[in-house]
A and B are shown apart, each in its own frame.
Chain A
Amino acid sequence: MFKLALPRSAIAGAGGAAIPLLERLGLRAASGVGEAGWGRTALAGVVSFLYFFPVLWIILTAFKSYDDVLAVPAKFFFTPTLDNFRQVFSRAYSVQGQVQDTGFALFFFNSIVIATVSVAVALVLGTFAAFGFSRYPLKGNDTYLFIILSTRMLPAIVVIIPIFLMFRITGLAGTYLGIIALYTTFNLPFTIWMMKSFFDELSPDVEDAARIDGSSDARVFFKICLPQVVAGLAATAVFGLILTWNEFLFALLLSGVETRTVPVAMAQTIGGDIGVRWGLLAAIETLFLVPVIIVTFALQNQLLRGVTFGTIKR
């Protein structure tokens, strides 16, 4: 309390005056109507920490040895080990004397490749389309956009049956090409909506000036518009990566044994008969998590736009 009181009294100047209680607690700041002090930080800290706790526990579990994971009562303090992480990638784990490769290296590879390629292709196609929707509105623009968004909002289950059949008939099931094509199609609506919202924000004056100076449409697009939305491209790409990476249902049904992605492999690990290797799972999830957390921090400003698929900005 002493530390909290100190800044307040410094500001209050001629000392000894009554300081309102909320300010003393740091819940409301001395100056201004929209600010709060360290008291608010403490409260928010407690709430945030509690909210984050399940995630924190996962990260902790990833560093626990096999026995620590199963310990009851739960251990908060333990000696960390990197065993789980090693097992994820190549080394063996021994189950009743048997040495097996978890194979997750392959699954990580699959996830990375599939996600990257599909996001990249969607980004290219989608950005062009978004530019078209934004700068050259067609008759029925809204209808097209609506249809595009609907495909993204549909329950996966609605789309999966025909696509599953289609994949079976065309022999795409279990192939890289098939699942990449599918994910590209999934990322397209999101990319289009996001990039369109970014293009809509650009002022057309600069483009008009360039046109008057004789630039062709292509030049205007590449040299003027695109550099301005680089941040948008990055945000869209990252969101797309996260969404694709996390996708489960389609991967479950459409990827083959060799082309399995990490989420599917994780689910299968849970249902395994060996007994769930929680430590291993935790390690896998932590490997997912850390880039996601970093990215969430980097993209804080675009988060709202990203999670609403570009339909809402500030």
Chain B
Amino acid sequence: MERSSPTGGMAASPALSPALPSASPPAFAPALAPALAPIPRPAGRLLRWNNWQAALLVFVVGMPPAIALLPPAFSFWVAAALAVLLAATLVVNAWGRHTGGLLVAPALALLFVMNIYPLLWSFGLSFFNYRANRMKQPTFVGLQNYANVITDPVVWDRLHTTAIMVVLTVSVQMVIGFLLALLFSKQFPLRRYLMILVLTPMMLSFVAVGAFFRYYYEPSLGLLSQFVRLFTGEPYVLMQSVWGARAGIILADAWMWSPFVMLLVLAGLVSVPKYLYEAAAIDRAPAWRRMWSITLPYIRGLLLLALLFRTIEAFKLFDVVFLLTEGGPGTATETIAVYVYRVAFQYVKTSESTALTYILLFTVIVLTNLYLYLANRRIKEA
């Protein structure tokens, strides 16, 4: 193992020759070996342990053939070996060069191996027609999975359902969160303790919330039904109708996450310097103008961030739906996440589901990018 010298180390060590097995890439070396056979001096860098670019190249080049030619189990291991090699070169690269790199590398490596690599592998899989419960070799189908997914009316229907529910739940959250924030915007006795009561739903597990709202919505002994029965005398079944089920889920979700919006808006409200309101009082500005000219600019940024954050999270709407309705009645509340779960685990159309997930992933990445951009800009402006 050599440390890279600060000057870049152009001199190739005579110990590194193309015949050295430890320096050659595995599995597909025969294909690449001829290209590497004559090594002029500058290219000696290629084979050093810390040359992550070369490892990356090998990784990218080696994966598709591996998946195509080998049974899935083996291809996985081969690709995994390549991934580990890449991670290792990254760590070694960091060792000699940057303290920062060294500190960061283990975490990045773990993330890469456990998170990013599976994503990449499944990305590769999405171009084949792999089904996890069949033993046959997957064949390459190119973009067909994607085409299927994009043209599938079921997918669009689920997306439509998801969109409706996301829009509704995020709207409700924003409104309630904003109102709650207004309520808590001033100091009053016991404020700290009362705020805990409102913040707790956010910290509960989805399962608990799902389980309990199911209890509340129960036609025979749920609280909601009993309450309605006071007026109508009949048990109320919320979960049977399409919109009833949706409302039930939206209510549970909004209840859980409105405090999140409240926190953000409150942060904005609290950050307005008191003397601005005093100056506005002396300037004889009415309450609405104070809100418009002073308060709103401060919370505008945070409101947007809250909106984005909740939207990104809402796309993941799975737990609550699964527990409350399992997508029912029928498919009225089946969000896209639940649908993907079904396709992947119930129908076991693995590759198709990965194609779908990649489209979702792309959307979420765009939204996350936007979110981070806005969050950073807010910090810079402060």
CB–CB A33/B277 < 8 A? yes
CB–CB A151/B115 < 8 A? yes
CB–CB B104/A138 < 8 A? yes
Contact of B104 among A132, A282, A314 (CB under 8 A): A132
A31 to chain B, nearest CB (A): 11
CB–CB A35/B267 < 8 A? no
CB–CB B107/A192 < 8 A? yes
Q: For the complex, what is the distance from the CA of A307 to the CA of B318, rounded to whole Å?
A: 19
CB–CB A43/B183 < 8 A? yes
Interface string of A161-202 (1 = CB under 8 A from B): 111111011100000000001101100110010000000000
A47/B189 contact (C-beta < 8 A), A144-B104, A253-B345 known: no
Q: For B371, what are the chain A residues with a Cβ–Cβ distance below 8 Å?
A: 311
Q: For A181, what are the chain B residues with a Cβ–Cβ distance below 8 Å?
A: 114
Contact of B107 among A34, A188, A288 (CB under 8 A): A188
Q: For the complex, what is the distance from the CA of A300 to the CA of B100, rounded to whole Å?
A: 32
CB–CB B183/A128 < 8 A? no
Q: For B214, what are the chain A residues with a Cβ–Cβ distance below 8 Å?
A: 270
CB–CB A44/B194 < 8 A? yes
Q: Is the interface of B mostly helix, strand, loop or mixed?
A: helix
CB–CB B204/A162 < 8 A? no
Q: For the complex, what is the distance from the CA of A141 to the CA of B119, rounded to whole Å?
A: 22
CB–CB A51/B201 < 8 A? yes
A296/B196 contact (C-beta < 8 A), A74-B223, A246-B207, A312-B305 known: yes
B75 to chain A, nearest CB (A): 10
- Is A2 at the interface (CB under 8 A from chain B)? no
A151/B264 contact (C-beta < 8 A), A138-B101, A288-B208, A314-B271 known: no
- Is A154 at the interface (CB under 8 A from chain B)? yes
Pick out which of these stretches binds chain B: A53-61, A78-86, A92-100, A206-214.
A53-61
Q: For the complex, what is the distance from the CA of A38 to the CA of B194, rounded to whole Å?
A: 13
Q: For A125, what are the chain B residues with a Cβ–Cβ distance below 8 Å?
A: 106-107, 110
Q: For A232, what are the chain B residues with a Cβ–Cβ distance below 8 Å?
A: none
Top 3 A-B residue pairs of the complex, sorted by shortest distance between their CB atoms? A136-B100, A132-B103, A246-B205
B residues at A contact (CB < 8 Å) = 72-73, 76-77, 98-104, 106-108, 110-111, 114-116, 118-119, 121-122, 125, 132, 180, 183-184, 186-208, 210-216, 220-221, 223, 226, 255, 260, 263-264, 267, 270-271, 274, 277-278, 281, 302, 305, 309, 312-313, 315-316, 318-319, 323, 337, 340-341, 344-345, 350, 353-354, 357-358, 360-361, 364-365, 368-369, 371-372, 375, 378
Q: List 5 A-B contacts (CB under 8 A).
A: A32-B274, A45-B190, A159-B118, A185-B115, A308-B264
